Amino acid sequence: MVSREYVVPMNHLDEETIELYVLESEEVQDRRAEIEAHLKECAGCMSLSKEIEEYYSEVLAIHEERSKAISQALTVRSIAVKVPTYTEFGPLSQIPKTWPARMVLFVIRHPYVATSGFVGFIVGAIIAAQMLLLPALKDRNPSYARAKDEFLVAYNKEGDVLWKKHIGPGYDWERLLADSAAARKPEQYLATVDVDGDGRREVIAIFYGDLGELLKNVVVCYNADGSQRWTHTVSRKITFGNESFSDSYSTRLLTAASFAKGSPVEVIVVANHDQYYPTVILRLNGSDGKLLGEYWHSGIFVQVGHTDLDGDGIEELFFIGENNGFDLAALLVLDPRKILGHSPAPPAYTPQNVPVGSEKFYILFPRNDLKSLATHKRNRVHSFQLSGDSSLSVWVHEEVEPSSTYPTIFHFNSSMQSTGVVGSDPFVTFHRKLEAEGKLTRKLDAAYYEDLRRNVQYWDGEKSRFVSYEELTKTNKKSGMSRLP
């Protein structure tokens, strides 16, 4: 893994350049031909250019109307007003819709105006600015961020837009949430958290592989004002068994928090190779993006979460996915302070020159009798839920039909002991249908679910093999290990 300066590529002109172009400023005189050519090809920039033109047209129209009532034209060369800078108020796309508010914004953005007949108007607008606009813009601290209409957008707690960053086509959280193949919720790829304890929250983002080659393997942290704080690029060639993999990765999952009381904020990122295997979990310093640890997995992960499992004040990290080496659905539990090594796997799926893993628990889920009809080579974890009492529920299913899931639900207590298995309503209905058709012979009863529970497997690092929970507990007691209560 390497960390280097990286600027998210922008395919658009910045808004200040477009504004200067519209105003025929000398600052962009030598770029006018270039800007004009870009506007002809870029519908987005052309739209913003027209919006800015309309904005200034309205300003001039109101000015002319007010000038008629002013008996004597005055020239204002300089009005010294202490106001926020232009950049503090974000992009021009946030221009208010009502003309009084637009006039206030005009004065605040352009306090040094050289034109006639503006004295009365500007003074009145300044007073209005103090009364109307400034109170509404006091909160410049990001509260959350969203992918919306190709932009990364940061909002304050009132829902006001603070700043935007153009990312690209397809970057919209409602679209991603509706896409069953992706099902990416905002908290999976965006985090808004104070990384350095100064009381202002930063926005951390990953952009996943389908947004383009330049974005797929980077993690970016933006300051509260939208400026770039740091970037980290996922890049490493690695060999699992005899199979070598290039350094082409895509970031998939993100979470950031202070995982122990009083500890600095850290960022956890899951990235998988473009072939979906292997996967790496990265532990990054929240303040500067430096790599603190990495854990290699012989499969994929589809969800991440964290909670204090054993009440020791440290939140464990949970990852669900699949293990390619054992062809089974898997659950990983890590101590956030010890992210290193590799997952359990047969030799052909074990990375070279990587130490054994630091996992607190690594669990494999048994397949049920829908396996005989499954279209995928292994069962899959659909989702999981962490409860307030540190219990855990994991939905595991056989992929029988690509568009449908029939999960069984595995329950665990705070000691990660499997306490029971139940069938979801879709699973029970579908299973009974197949029973009636003679395609399945096993009946759904207490013994059926107990067999599934008893076949949950736990990795025993001391014995380098999977065992039952009872055997794992005995091993821990003998070795004096304290990871289990």
Residues 462 and 316 in one domain: yes
Note the pLDDT of residue 271. Answer: 94
pLDDT at 83: 33
DSSP string, 173-231: HHHHHH-TTT---HHHHEEEE-SSSSS--EEEEE--GGG-TTTTTEEEEE-TTS-EEEE
Rounded Cα–Cα distance for residues 39 and 35 (Å)? 6
For all residues of the chain together, what is the average pLDDT?
A: 82
Does 9 score more than 50 pLDDT?
Answer: no
Q: What is the rounded distance in angstroms from the CA atom of residue 218 to the CA atom of residue 211? A: 11
- pTM value is 0.73
Range(s) of the domain holding residue 291: 238-479
Residue 396 forms part of a structural domain: yes
**What share of the chain in percent tops pLDDT 70?**
77
> Could you tell me if 351 and 239 are in contact, meaning their C-beta atoms sit under 8 angstroms apart?
yes
The whole-angstrom separation of Cα 27 and Cα 422 is 69
Query: For the segment 389-421, what is each residue's pLDDT rounded down to a tens digit?
Result: 789 999 999 999 877 889 999 999 999 999 999
Our count of domains for the chain comes to: 2
pLDDT band, residue 46 (cuts 50/70/90): confident
Tens of pLDDT, residue by residue over 336-367, are 999 999 999 999 999 999 999 999 999 999 99
Task: Find the length of the chain.
Answer: 485
192 located within any domain: no
Is residue 189 domain-resident?
no
pLDDT tens for 439-461 read: 999 999 999 999 999 999 999 99
* Residue where one domain finishes, among candidates 136, 157, 187: 136
Q: Please determine, for residue 374, whether its predicted confidence score (pLDDT) is greater than 60.
A: yes
**Res. 72: pLDDT tops 50:** no
Q: Is residue 34 part of a domain?
A: yes
Which residues fall within 8 angstroms of residue 389, CB to CB, at 6 or more apart?
A: 414
Q: What's the average model confidence in pLDDT over 72-89?
A: 36
Within 333-468, residue ranges assigned H as helices are 425-436, 446-454
Q: Which two tokens stand for residue 139?
A: 């909160």
Q: Which tops the pLDDT comparison, 62 or 91? A: 62
For residue range 106-136, list pLDDT tens digits in order. 544 454 443 444 445 554 555 455 545 444 4
Would you say residue 225 lies in a domain?
no
Of the residues 86, 105, 136, which one is the last residue of a structural domain? 136
Mean pLDDT of 11-31: 81
Least confident segment among 80-84, 143-147, 162-166, 321-325: 80-84
Residues 132 and 243 in one domain: no
Residue 478 has pLDDT above 60, yes or no: no
pLDDT above 90 covers what percent of the chain?
Answer: 55
User: For residue 169, is the peptide bond before it cis, meaning its omega torsion is within 30 degrees of 0?
Assistant: no
Report residue 135 CA to chain centroid gap.
31
Angle, helices 32-41 vs 43-67, to 10°: value is 110
Last residue of a domain, one of 84, 109, 136: 136
User: Residue 177 falls within a domain, yes or no?
Assistant: no
On whether residue 182 sits in a domain, the answer given is no
Mean pLDDT of 173-193: 75
Predicted pLDDT at 344: 97
Specify if 67 maps to a domain: yes
Residues 116 and 242 in one domain: no
